[in-house]
Chain A
């Protein structure tokens, strides 16, 4: 049984439909990343699960209990849902110390003072905050504040935690450390975590499952590998990873294969479009790492000769920019290239045609 189940959730805010029928399920030990561009409704979905926004239809089930059912008129208040929530801004109470922030949920539940103290201390210790209990939030660094927010959300033992862009307020270096720390914590505590992010690489790294939200609907859901390697729509293909995008005319389609013409270059790839699109304008997408510089080649299927425009040294690799009639291609390559034209290979199984 799922620990969190959302079915066909719809929300209107300020007269606009923000979520247009979103469904998801989540189990303990799983991290689901809610991914999507800014304004796609990620925060709204998370807040609706917590009861902070009011959907007008759909159902939400937490640990087998229906907490919201638009049709049946069930709507449990936020405080009765027993969830953990980590706010994007952390929302630490400035008038309470770290220990008081963390202890609050226990105090509300009438836990005895000495048990409160022990539980809070244990929770702070496990997050590496052991000595900071007496400090006030403004006396902590960003990373420490984030951990206090997590401690506060988890201290009373919820199974489902909701995290709204928990890493976005950290600087780049700290973010990678916190990412690993967070993943480990969720697995250790056997939590069901729903985490909002707008950063696809963060979602790929941390999640067991990704839901890509676009304009209030789930565009595609699946494992990070599925999302990355088998995008179903142009939007998904472009949102994940770094891509080359080529416009052309779709020439033919058979057995899941299609071909697209750009000028007089014919490119084969995997068909991701309806058969009706043959003869019409279409797009080909290939990840940067899918393109190979075919040194010593002299043409062939899916080979194209383009001029090198510029090169950038990225540290662990080089990025080269090529341009030819009707297309601009970027690719990674181990080393620098001589100026002039080069043959590039775009393998058909790495090209998606939409």
Chain B
């Protein structure tokens, strides 16, 4: 009995630590929201004052309203666009499908803030395209800093999320359903509308809620594109609130965080519910026989141009602009690009010790930190593995909670936890705090990657080790872990990409020793250092591209 108990208590310890790790920041935020001053202030008292203050702020309501409109607006663009991309890619004879396949998911791995910089330097008021346009056509018809631009850019860049789920659903559709419709006389367009679309409704519904949820979380795009016009969403409102009253107004920030969590949490659970339905739908259908592709005929090239245009607008345009801007010394009306080309920006970059350590830290936190995070996620997944117990159901809910905390919120919460817990205080200014925040924010995602690898392990393989005499821990070490090694490697690569991309989580933790590329560009953009920001962004994109190439090269699927 002893070894079974030992195994069980190890599981309990892991789950308890996870719960502590997740709940401590949330409880601290909740506590802080009911105080009249920051928690470290001896004069702080329990009260509803902060709630009253925030709820009487017109700016808060405006930010909430803007957030809702942004979320709905971008959903309205992403879902139809993503579904169309998925249909064209999986179901038609559109030319160039094979080449687009890996490219379509790229925007998911690009940092939104980097994309936003890219848009600013190309189609912003003095962007390359804008300047060029002015020379030939006069004033441009667009305004990058308008709400409409924000919605359109957010919608275009989030379409791959929809594509991901819609294409998976379409691939699992048995082709004979569509062929049956063709036989009865329906044209391809009709088939898509009458058969394919209704069959993937659960997947679309899920991705709709996902985009809505991501819309509530966006930070980078509105920070860069909304700020000049004073356009605030909840996350940027929170960011601006830091010094509302002249002193750190933690209590007000805590209230805003509570509002964000209160909106996000139900969306997280709705997603969970919808995902189950969508997966059941897919599972029941099973793998369909390979079908004849829908012939687009005259529409082949227009369809190709649509996808190429989308990719050009969402990835190529901002990235090209960004790279170009990083190689020019200055830019404005009447300047010839060839006259101002230079490497100085990059050379100067490496004189800036903060920038250098940001790059080193980013790489370190992605590789070593990412490996450690996967180690933690694996421990949690193994603690839950094949253990029918109330503890596991509890852990299932616990790990969902951080999803309701956007990066900026989680970063703030971890910052507070390190400030609040005296023994941890010295670690606040180290990379460890950043790593903890990253690990927390991506807990649900990373755990799912490991869990899906564990699902592939047949239970008898582990049981066979048990009956031949191995204890629980030994069986996991000798059988389970070797069998999920490839899954763990894939998870590590994906987490690495995501940690390099991450920008909002480390914003509040930024300080000497804790700078990473993401948080540094946010702060440098605030001080107007465009040269450094574009160079750093390019380095960020280069690192991600490198990671993506390795990942694809190793045959890892970009979606867990």
Contacts and interface: CB of A to CB of B under 8 A. Distances in A.
Contacts of A82: 469
Nearest to A79: B469
Contacts of B464: 85, 87, 91-93, 152
Nearest to B466: A78
Contacts of B465: 93, 104
Contact of A52 (B7, B466, B471): B466
Contact of A104 (B3, B463, B478): B478
Contacts of B193: none
Contacts of B1: 74-77
A89 interface: yes
A283 B482 CA distance: 57
B483 interface: yes
Interface in A85-107: 85, 87-89, 91-95, 104-105
Contacts of A95: 482-483
A109 interface: yes
A79 B458 contact: no
B422 to A, nearest CB: 42
A152 B460 CA distance: 14
Interface in B1-38: 1, 3-4, 7
Contacts of B471: 77, 79
B460 A78 contact: no
Interface string B455-467: 0001011011111
B469 A109 contact: yes
A80 B467 CA distance: 8
Nearest to B3: A77
A85 B467 contact: yes
Contact of A91 (B4, B7, B460): B460
Interface-centre pick from B469, B472, B483 (highest chain A CB count, 10 A):
B469
Contacts of B474: 79, 108
Interface in A137-196: 152-153, 156
A197 B261 CA distance: 55
B478 A79 contact: no
Nearest to B2: A77
Contacts of B478: 104
A156 B468 contact: yes
Contacts, number: 76
B489 interface: no
Contacts of A156: 468-469
Contact of A152 (B3, B463, B468): B468
B458 A91 contact: yes
B469 A94 contact: no
B539 interface: no
B312 to A, nearest CB: 45
Contacts of B482: 95
Interface in B433-484: 458, 460-461, 463-472, 474-475, 478-479, 482-483
Given A77-B1, A79-B3, A108-B474, A89 B469 contact: no
A82 B4 CA distance: 15
Interface in B36-94: none
A50 interface: yes
A95 B462 CA distance: 13
Interface of chain A: mostly helix, strand, loop or mixed: loop
Given A94-B483, A104-B478, A79 B466 contact: yes
B488 to A, nearest CB: 14
A224 interface: no
A251 B262 CA distance: 77
B466 A105 contact: no
Contact of A84 (B4, B7, B467, B475): B467
B3 A87 contact: no
A344 interface: no
Contacts of B461: 91, 93-94
B69 to A, nearest CB: 47
Interface in B122-136: none
A213 interface: no
Contacts of B483: 93-95
A83 interface: yes
A243 to B, nearest CB: 35
Nearest to A54: B388
Given A75-B1, A77-B1, A77-B4, A105 B479 contact: no
B526 to A, nearest CB: 51
B468 A50 contact: no
A319 B478 CA distance: 55
Interface-centre pick from B4, B7, B472, B474 (highest chain A CB count, 10 A):
B4
Contacts of B4: 75, 77
A50 B469 contact: no
A248 B472 CA distance: 58
A6 B291 CA distance: 55
Contacts of B479: 93
Contacts of A75: 1, 4
Interface in A46-77: 50-52, 74-77
A102 to B, nearest CB: 10
Interface string B485-509: 0000000000000000000000000
A120 B482 CA distance: 22
Interface-centre pick from A76, A92, A104 (highest chain B CB count, 10 A):
A104
Nearest to A47: B463
A78 B478 CA distance: 16
Contacts of A109: 469
Nearest to A76: B1
Contact of A89 (B458, B470, B475): B458
Nearest to B463: A52
Nearest to A14: B388
Interface of B: 1, 3-4, 7, 458, 460-461, 463-472, 474-475, 478-479, 482-483
Given A52-B466, A88-B460, A104-B470, 18 more contacts: A75-B1, A77-B7, A77-B466, A78-B467, A79-B470, A79-B475, A83-B467, A85-B463, A87-B464, A91-B460, A93-B479, A93-B483, A94-B483, A104-B465, A104-B478, A108-B474, A152-B464, A152-B468
Complex A-B, nearest 4 residue pairs according to Cβ-Cβ distance, in ascending order: A91-B460, A105-B468, A77-B4, A85-B467
10 contacts: A52-B466, A77-B4, A77-B466, A79-B466, A83-B467, A91-B458, A93-B461, A93-B464, A93-B479, A105-B469
